[in-house]
Amino acid sequence: MAKLPSVGKKSAQRLAFHFLSQTQDVVDQLAETMVRTRRNIRYCDTCFNISLSERCHICSDAGRDEHVLCVVSEPRDVFSVERTHHYHGHYHVLGGLISPLDGIHPEVLRIQELVERLRSGTFTEIILAINPTVEGDATLLYLNSVLASFQIKTTKLAYGLPMGGDIEYADELTLQQAFHGRTGI
Ligand SMILES: [Zn+2]
């Protein structure tokens, strides 16, 4: 339990005792769900969000705005933006941020796949919802140079997000404001 993110020794102990107090059925069900989910989860072939099939539920949703594309770093950022209920376009998950010191170069990220999607000519606006960190800025800079060849309106989140902050931990209102206050780059 203590190996889980954000779980210290005390919390780990509390969780362990909680599971011990539950019936065998409850614990079995939880364990089975975890194993089944991990086994069946995959990346969407189109946007690289986590999915249970080739196309995720967002890519398969005909009701989404097919002209707007929101580029995020990780699948968890998709969930954060979805929580605002104010964005109805599509997504593209890069799979990380550029960080040469950690060996994460642009080729490792799904930037080529993004370019391929933009070549389809469907999108008229790209929103770069990237964390305002050193790695995020490096990624934005790189994306900007890649996207320059496309005549597509490109914005980035600005107002509301603190410097060094993380989209994952932003509350709905802050993230909503960041979307409204997005600026051209
Ligand atoms: Zn998808």
Domain boundaries, the chain: 9-40, 62-184
Say how many Å lie between the CA of residue 56 and the centre of ligand 1. 4
In CATH terms, the fold of domain 62-184 is Dna Topoisomerase Vi A Subunit; Chain: A, domain 2 (3.40.1360)
Cα dist from 30 to 7, 25, 37, 152, whole Å:
18, 9, 11, 45
Q: Kindly indicate the confidence band of residue 132, based on its pLDDT and cuts at 50, 70 and 90.
A: confident
Say how many Å lie between the CA of residue 48 and the centre of ligand 1. 6
Say how many Å lie between the CA of residue 32 and the centre of ligand 1. 26
Please compute the mean of the pLDDT values over residues 121-150 and round it to a whole number.
91
pLDDT tens sequence across 73-110: 999 999 999 998 989 999 999 999 999 888 889 999 99
Provide the token pair at 25: 């059925």
147 vs 16: CA distance, rounded Å? 49
Say how many Å lie between the CA of residue 124 and the centre of ligand 1. 18
152 vs 141: CA distance, rounded Å? 16
Please compute the mean of the pLDDT values over residues 173-183 and round it to a whole number.
74
Please compute the mean of the pLDDT values over residues 174-178 and round it to a whole number.
74
Say how many Å lie between the CA of residue 90 and the centre of ligand 1. 8
The structure's pTM equals 0.78
Say how many Å lie between the CA of residue 185 and the centre of ligand 1. 25
